[in-house]
Amino acid sequence: CGIVQGQFRIKKEVSEAELNSLQTEFEELSKRKEVQKAIEKGALLSELFVLSKRYKDASNTCIQMDNLIYPYDRQNGTTSFSLRFLVAKERLRLYTQELNFQRSKTQFDQMNYCMRYMEDKNSYTDDALLVKAQYYQAFGMTEKSLESYEMLLQRCLAEKNDSDREDCFKSMIAYA
Select, from the ranges 12-21, 31-40, 163-172, the one with the highest average predicted confidence (pLDDT): 31-40
Q: What is the pLDDT of residues 120-162, one digit of tens each?
A: 777 788 889 989 999 999 999 999 999 998 898 888 788 767 7
Q: Classify 53 in phi/psi space as left (phi over 0), alpha (psi -120 to 50) or beta.
A: left
State pTM to two decimals.
Answer: 0.85
DSSP 159: -
What torsion do the CA atoms of 122, 124, 125, 129 make, to the nearest 10 degrees? 180
Q: pLDDT tier at 11 (50, 70, 90 boundaries)?
A: low
Of 4-13, 54-63, 73-82, 164-173, give the lowest mean pLDDT range.
Answer: 4-13
Distance CA 85, CA 91 (A): 10
Mean pLDDT of all residues in 1-22? 65
Residue 168: per-residue pLDDT: 67
Residue 30: per-residue pLDDT: 96
